[in-house]
Structure 1
Amino acid sequence: MGQELRVHQVSKHKKSEPGFLLFSWPSMQLHEDASRWIARLARTNSQRHQRNMAYAIAYWHTYCLTAGIDYRRACADDLSDFGDALAEAVSEKTGRPLSAGTISKRMEAVIAYYIAGEDHGWYLTALDFAHALATNSKSDTAFQTTHAQPINDSVRHLIPRYERSETDIRPLSPEALVSLLEHLGPSEEESGKCGHFQRDRIVAEWMAYVGLRLSEIVGDEDNQGLSVHQFSTLNFDPNHLFDHSIVRVLGKGAKYRNVAVPNWLILRTKNYIATERASAVAHIKHPTSKLIVAHRTAGNSTRGKPITGRWYEHLFAKACLEAKLIAIEEIHAANSNQKRRVEMARHSPHDLRHTYAVMTYFAERELGNLEPWKPIQAQLGHRYLRTTIETYLSYVSVMNEWGRDLRRMSVRELAGVPLA
């Protein structure tokens, strides 16, 4: 077996079909235990979860190969050392150290992998470990001194603990939100004057004013995203722009929920469908039903096709930099131990969802609602109210000036919708 394990996606596949295999590199020998486990995950988990687990196990096996560890006899001490190695690792994608959350998820994946391995007979059981420790034969000396505990539920204390803090929540201030939206695209009232596209701004408004996740708008491998069909039969009153209508969206865990959407945003979205989007898909014989597509000015191979969440993240970061919403960070240069200072976007698209939650909290409090968390929970699609409160309470408790800014700048001004 080689010194590295790599993940190979077989093809586009249905949720119930295995699509990720693990091979040693460069021999390209299939790793049967790991691939079989990923295949079992396909029965009940999303493709994204399968992919994340596949990469976590690939990292683990690569670590074992490099350290000369027989993965079938790996123990808690080895898992602990793996966690230490991850804490010193740098992400190839960002050049920054791995977060505690990433480290924890990878270690949790390894534990689940070994629990399954014990059930299917390729990993030593706790009784095997106990027997080896009780044996006095010289052949087991190394095993006794280094393999004191199997990898199972009992070693979860080795996983680094991480808790959300107010630093994890980065909602935009009212002024920053207005600036970002202007750099993403013109308001509907200005679009005809300058000829610029509204699409990127509309996506941001669905996150900032409705609280949707990016995947719930543009879609991904587990989610259709918003569809044009949802708006073709949607009835709303254009004369009452600040009333709300109900739109049904597909959220995390393949669960649907109803969300309240301001009528002005529905009107803006329908106008996008009738003009900008219609022009983009005009040449396609069987156009996609997804709402968000590439502009008419895109290349022939992408024009009118659905855009990806990753591509929108790129456009969003560019708008942040243009709006001077930046942070200076030190990152590791590629293939080097040296660091360099770079300007990074201070916000991600998900921060707009946080912005919605915080903005709604202060608006509900201003209206006298003593339980503002409940409507926020329903709109965001959190299963438990506790999740909503724990995510945002520490932030809103110390950011009362955010509420004052919101009262000073009305939602109409934030959205750029005329008062008349």
Structure 2
Amino acid sequence: MGVRFKTVFRVGEAAVAEGVPRAFLGVPIIIDEEGQPDRHLFEYFLSRRNGDWSAYTRVEGRVLELSGRTVTGDKLSFLMDRAYQLNVFRRWCRFESVDWRDVNDQELRVYAEALEEGVFSRSGPYKQGGEVDPLEPSSVNQYLTSVIDFLRYAVERGWRANLALKYRRGQSPENGRRGGGKGVGRTKTSARPKPALFRRTNPKELRVWYSEEDIKRGLAEFETAGVRLAAHIMYDTGLRIAEALSLTLASFPTPEQFRSDAKHRFIRVRGKGRKWRSVSIEEPIVLEVDRYKRYDRTLTLRKNEPDPDVLIIGETGNGVGPLWPRYVQKEFARIREGAGIVGVTPHILRHHYAAHTLLRSWRRRSAFLGIPLEEFDTANAQGVLSQDIIRLKENLGHASLDTTFGYLGAVIYLLGSALPIAYSDELDELIE
């Protein structure tokens, strides 16, 4: 049984008794693998506790007084949340052999993917079988906010080079602090640029959509059979990356079973919250899986090695075993530019499955009803495509139909509406 090491602590009474100023009581510190405090992070926490550093404005000349007034920095509860978030980032850097002083915006997007897909969490790296749950987009954004604020602080201290992030305009708090004196407790707001922290995984925010031909041409670029099949499963079923990689040999029916019995036209998938759902499948992906099992998978297995129960396998450091989501994400990053799908990640592929499914449904139903293809309207489409939307909701595992309705806007783009050139120019930065 593994031993868990607690690496985030508060300055306690014992430290105060040894001479640490009482004003620091409760301030978080992070201990590294050698058992030593991380001086960079501790200085950062003290600066925020002291009020020397805020998210958007550095406060010059403020010095902590140990008596005579109340410290006007961040609350201790806020600092503890930030400490745990930064500790996850520190662990991720160590796991990926990345020096935090050299982390760039591209690596931050990789870090966001790792959190969103469940590849990495507070407790450590992804464990096969779904033992680490992915974070919600709002949580990922909060983790990234903490990381970027710390990295900007490190730039001010000369510990690292500047972070070249894209920024967008937005309402942001400016110097909102509490303490003694006039005007205390007020919060000024102004339209300041905020870092475009999170990859745009919300389909309502995506501004570049690829055609089915573009996606299929891109997926053909994968050199590894296991990664190629994982990408096809995600695109043909809408599964998340962790869901696709946890499928077993028995998950998919044989072609004969699929053709002879309607109950074999679904697969069972365990998704977020360990909830099971049924996902409808089509014959092409069944044939693709069957070919992989009979040929590529057999060639990948070595003699005298146990056969893992998972469907998709590959070469690992210890022989043959299940693929890690992080490995699949790296393969996506490798082929994107050459394949002409620079905005596609495993999660964005899931969005394209949903958008293309609705587009195919609209083509069929509009032809049947005699509606011109280009007269697509999101309001009318909710009625015309109601059955397709409900089926898509179940396949994706959405809790609400409102989430699934978000993909109707993508159909407008895919039908040929013009997009501003600026969106294409920003694709590499905003859609990763």
What per-residue deviation string (whole Å, max 9, x for no partner) do you get for residues 360-413 of structure 1?
1112223324313211111111111112223x23332343239xxxxxxxxxxx
Structure 2 SS opposite 1:274: helix
Contact preservation (8 Å) 1:75, 1:148: no
- 1:378 paired residue number: 394
Residue 74 (structure 1) shift: 5.0
- 2:336 paired residue number: 320
Q: Does 1:288 align with 2:308?
A: yes
Residue 176 (structure 1) shift: 1.1
Residue 229 (structure 1) shift: 3.3
Structure 2 SS opposite 1:346: coil
- 2:142 paired residue number: 105
Residue 293 (structure 1) shift: 1.5
Distance verdict in 2 for CA 1:79–1:169, change over 3 Å: farther
Distance verdict in 2 for CA 1:146–1:235, change over 3 Å: farther
What per-residue deviation string (whole Å, max 9, x for no partner) do you get for residues 103-145 of structure 1?
85249999xxxxxxxxxxxxxxxxxxxxxxxxxxxxxxx9434
1:207 to 226, 234, 251: 234
1:92 to 97, 100, 103: 103
Structure 2 SS opposite 1:375: helix
* Partners of 2:182 and 2:296 in 1: CA distance: 64
* Partners of 2:103 and 2:313 in 1: CA distance: 29
Residue 321 (structure 1) shift: 2.4
* Partners of 2:101 and 2:404 in 1: CA distance: 31
1:63 to 23, 40, 44: 44
* Partners of 2:76 and 2:25 in 1: CA distance: 24
- 1:144 paired residue number: 180
What per-residue deviation string (whole Å, max 9, x for no partner) do you get for residues 215-259 of structure 1?
1112xxxxxx1112334xx35537859x87111011111111110
What per-residue deviation string (whole Å, max 9, x for no partner) do you get for residues 135-178 of structure 1?
xxxxxxx94349967xxxxxxxxxx8999464436543122112
2:298 to 278, 282, 297: 278
Q: Does 1:228 align with 2:249?
A: yes
Q: Does 1:308 align with 2:308?
A: no
1:254 to 246, 256, 274: 274
Contact preservation (8 Å) 1:172, 1:351: no
* Partners of 2:351 and 2:227 in 1: CA distance: 18
- 2:213 paired residue number: 175
Structure 1 SS opposite 2:292: helix
Contact preservation (8 Å) 1:245, 1:261: yes
Contact preservation (8 Å) 2:237, 2:395: yes
Amino acid at match of 1:311: Y
Tell me the percent identity: 20
- Which consecutive residues of structure 1, in runs of 5 or more, have no partner in the other structure? 1-10, 36-57, 111-141, 150-159, 186-196, 219-224, 326-344, 403-420
- How many residue pairs were aligned? 275
Contact preservation (8 Å) 1:90, 1:97: no
Contact preservation (8 Å) 2:238, 2:350: yes
After TM superposition, the structure 1 = structure 2 runs for residues 112-151 of structure 1, keeping only pairs within 5 Å, are 143-145=179-181
- 1:400 paired residue number: 415
Contact preservation (8 Å) 1:75, 1:147: no
* Partners of 2:101 and 2:358 in 1: CA distance: 37
Q: Does 1:22 align with 2:8?
A: yes
Contact preservation (8 Å) 1:202, 1:269: yes
1:389 to 405, 409, 421: 405
Tell me which moved more, 358-367 or 163-172: 163-172
Structure 1 SS opposite 2:256: coil
Residue 63 (structure 1) shift: 3.5
Distance verdict in 2 for CA 1:21–1:302, change over 3 Å: same
Distance verdict in 2 for CA 1:397–1:64, change over 3 Å: same
Amino acid at match of 2:230: V
* Partners of 2:301 and 2:242 in 1: CA distance: 21
- 1:217 paired residue number: 244
Amino acid at match of 1:22: V
* Partners of 2:405 and 2:101 in 1: CA distance: 32
Amino acid at match of 2:278: N
* Partners of 2:230 and 2:108 in 1: CA distance: 30
* Partners of 2:183 and 2:76 in 1: CA distance: 7
After TM superposition, the structure 1 = structure 2 runs for residues 331-370 of structure 1, keeping only pairs within 5 Å, are 345-368=342-365, 369-370=384-385
Q: Does 1:237 align with 2:256?
A: yes
* Partners of 2:326 and 2:356 in 1: CA distance: 26
Residue 75 (structure 1) shift: 4.2
